[in-house]
Amino acid sequence: MRLILLGPPGAGKGTQAQRLVEKYGIVQLSTGDMLRAAVAAGTPVGIQAREIMARGELVPDAVVVAIIADRIEQPDARKGFILDGFPRTEAQAEALGKLLHQKGLDLDAVIELKVDESILLHRVERRVAEMTARGEAVRADDNAESLKKRLDAYRAQTAPLVHFYAGKGMLRTVDGMEPIDDVTSAIGRILAEAAFRPKAAGSAAKRGQAAAKTKSGAKAKSKAKLASKTKKAAKKAPKKAVKKVTRKGVSKTAKKTPKKVSKKKPAPRGKSKSRRAGKKVRRARKARK
């Protein structure tokens, strides 16, 4: 099972992802965690990412995709995974689609947790007030102002993914404002339905490969059949009869052989003239007698 959860900060993606991990035995893949793990492990991609981050630059999509490619090959990701924090843009979504296509994999679902942003801001303000009243420490970024900035960034970069995956027929939407258990149940129904739907990317590739094999096989069979027919027709074709005169008669099935042309040598001119002259002499002698 391979999933993407979409939704603005505070929509409850982390809570639902953890429940899916426990229920289905899959792993939650965070791009931040994967980057740190790759850097710590000293993998080729990790070393490249470390050099980029050391320069204070953002890690490019190609490097992030390479890290994801390595991570989903690990044994604990064989049952499936939930991507957390990736993709964030359409370009990243396209890169992810190509990666999965190359590995013959599919996304089972892209689920959007739809929420009311004004209610989210109100929830954060109330939670911060309650924590402060209890004397609990509040994170520096856990406030309405920080959330508002994150929501603005989400609308600008990640919200277009909703239209991107909707256009591919892969998006399913859940009301994230419902109680947590109801949201979990709704996601479960979507996944149960997805288990019986034809796959999108990887299966299409496999079907394409199978069709190509069938086409090439049919073409080869057609050629073989044509060659067989030609061979049979050649055997059945009547042989051209060639007449040959022999002592016993005329043979119609004899093989045609080229005849040798015999050229008679013409008699020497000298002998022919002497014979004619001799005849004249004999006639003259007879006439005298």
The reply to whether 88 belongs to the active site is yes
Q: Which of 139, 236, 240, 288 is catalytic?
A: 139
Q: Given 36, 103, 123, 150, which residue is catalytic?
A: 150
Contact 92, 64 (CB under 8 A): yes
Q: Which of 23, 78, 126, 221 is catalytic?
A: 126
Which residue among the candidates 19, 36, 50, 88 is catalytic per the annotation? 88
How would you class 238 by CB atoms within 10 Å of its CB: exposed for 0-12, middle for 13-18, buried for 19 or more?
A: exposed
DSSP 253: B
Task: Indicate if 19 belongs to the active site.
Answer: no
Is residue 31 within 8 Å of 85, Cβ to Cβ?
Answer: yes
Structure tokens, 233: 């027709």
Strands across the sheet containing 109-114: 27-30, 81-84, 2-6, 109-114, 171-175
Provide the sign of the torsion angle of the four alpha carbons 234, 238, 242, 245, taken in this order. Answer: positive
Q: Which of 2, 13, 71, 172 is catalytic?
A: 13
Please give the Cα distance from 38 to 67 (Å, whole number). 7
> Is residue 139 flagged as an active site residue?
yes
Q: Which amino acid is at 72?
A: I
> Which residues are catalytic, by number?
13, 88, 126, 139, 150
